[in-house]
Amino acid sequence: MSTTEESRDAERPMDPDARADAEGPTPAETRTGKSGRVPLWVLVVGLVAVLVAALGGLAAYGGQTLPERLGPPVEELAVERTVIAPGSIELVLRNTGPDPVAVAQVFVNDSYVDFTGADEPIGRLAADTLVLNYPWQDGQPYTVSMLTSTGLVIEHVVDAAVATPEPGFEFLGLMALVGTYVGVLPVLLGMLVLPILRRTSGRVVRVLLALTVGLLAYLALDALLEGLELAALSGGAFGGPVLVFLGAGLAFLALTTVDKVLAGRRPDERDTGSAGMRLAVMIAIGIGLHNLGEGLVIGSAYAVGELALGAALIVGFAAHNTTEGLAIVAPLTTRRPSLWSLVGLGLIAGAPAILGAVIGASVDNAGLSALLFGVGVGAIVQVIIQIVPGLRDRTSGRLLDPAMLGGLGAGVVIMYLTGLLVAA
């Protein structure tokens, strides 16, 4: 039984009084004496039919009994993607408000432009694409103002116009290379500390695990803030900041399930070695999902011309992510994992950066990015919960002694300082 399961057992109510309180009338006693008068499925179907009829009636007639909105229509458009091509600016719009929006005219930097698309009003949550005929200049800022049928102006700012990269093999190859540089290689480099770790005492390993928790906590907070920032840009059509927490919750549950499945395969798991491997896999998955978000940021920033793919970026991310490799191998000090399993762990943690860069560069959707950042947050939180029991001192049972706190603090500080090196 792993330490996590022990702690769960401790949370069960063992107090007999509490048990007695819980023993009210059982479901069996509340049923009518004659069982099977009406089959259960008939009841369910009947209930569903009543609900459908009631909701349908409300939709059809209930709305007519209420007054219209006071004031003008609420018109909101979010720009989900901007594609800048020679002589044109393309905007993918989504109606994030309650009312239809008709884009009547468009002016760019205070000059009306010819455009195609959005011939019909855009309904709630519907999307449409405008293609503006405009002779933009490289690197200049542009304010696109969409004049709606009611005279409202919805603005979208292009900070610096650069031609959007063509999503061809060459570009995807470039993004894959960037993802490898900032994700896979640093993580593998970080794993090189394993031989040194093996020669250290259990106490040092515990401090390292505490350091890992500090690193992960920093990453989680960083990703949370980044995700919320992106969610604010997404217009809130699909929930805005809620998306981050939705992604986090789903990732947390999914990873918990993965953990249980991995644990279930070895019901007689006694040796800490395989438990350590399992923990390493979970940490790798958590970090991998975080690196997916990191890749997203890199890819989308490059696509909109806000990123210099220079040595500073590579070195910064490499230093930042090398510590992630350390975090993955920290639980593996008591066993001798094969080289291939180590490479596998490195790929689990690093390769999502490649996927993220590709997605970020080709999709550039703030809402989706916010959701994926949330996934990274949830994954890391789950991993932290996995690691914490292993920090407990075997003899005293204490969780937080000065060495542990020092490790935690050091993890946060290391991540902060290496984060400063990232010139993105």
Footprint of other proteins (CB under 8 A): 87, 102, 104-107, 110-115, 133-135, 145, 147-153
Are the C-beta atoms of 292 and 375 separated by less than 8 Å?
Answer: yes
DSSP 270-317: -SHHHHHHHHHHHHHHHHHHHHHHHHHHHHHHHHTT----SHHHHHHH
CB-nearer residue toward other proteins: 21 or 114 = 114
- Is residue 96 within 8 A of residue 235, CB to CB? The reply is yes
- Minimum CB separation of residue 210 from other proteins in Å reads 55
DSSP secondary structure, 232-273, as one string:
HHTTTTT-THHHHHHHHHHHHHHHHHHHHHHHHT-TT--SHH
- Nearest-approach distance from CB 160 to other proteins, in angstroms: 21
Of 389, 79, 372, 97, the C-alpha closest to 259 is: 389
Count the Cβ atoms, other than its own, within 10 Å of residue 152: 16
**Which sign, positive or negative, has the C-alpha torsion 268, 274, 276, 279?**
negative
Residue whose CB is less far from other proteins, 72 or 139? 72
DSSP 163-184: PPPP-SHHHHHHHHHHHIIIII
Does residue 92 sit in helix, strand or coil? strand
DSSP state of 332: G
Q: How far is the CB of 109 from other proteins (least distance, A)?
A: 9
CB of 232 to other proteins, least distance (A): 23
Looking at the Cβ atoms of 136 and 302, the one nearer to other proteins is: 136
Nearest CB to other proteins, comparing residues 150 and 257 = 150
- Nearer to other proteins by Cβ, of 88 and 341: the residue is 88
Q: 317-339: string of b/e by CB count within 10 Å (b at 16+)? A: bbbbbbbbbbbbbbbbbebebee
Q: How far is the CB of 87 from other proteins (least distance, A)?
A: 6
How near is the Cβ of 113 to other proteins at its closest, in Å?
Answer: 6
Q: At what angle do helices 272-303 and 339-362 cross, to 10 degrees?
A: 30
Comparing CB distances to other proteins, the nearer of 148 and 369 is 148
**Minimum distance between the CB of residue 324 and other proteins, rounded to whole angstroms?**
49
Q: How far is the CB of 116 from other proteins (least distance, A)?
A: 8
For other proteins, the closer of residues 152 and 403 by Cβ is 152
Q: CA-based diameter of the chain, in Å? A: 82
CB atoms within 10 A of CB 193: 16
- Contact between residue 320 and residue 218 where contact means Cβ atoms under 8 Å apart: no
For other proteins, the closer CB: 134 or 218: 134
- Quickly list DSSP for 118-157: --SPBPTT-EEEEEEE----TT--EEEEEEETTS-EEEEE
Nearer to other proteins, 108 or 285 (CB): 108
- Closest separation in Å from C-beta 119 to other proteins: 9
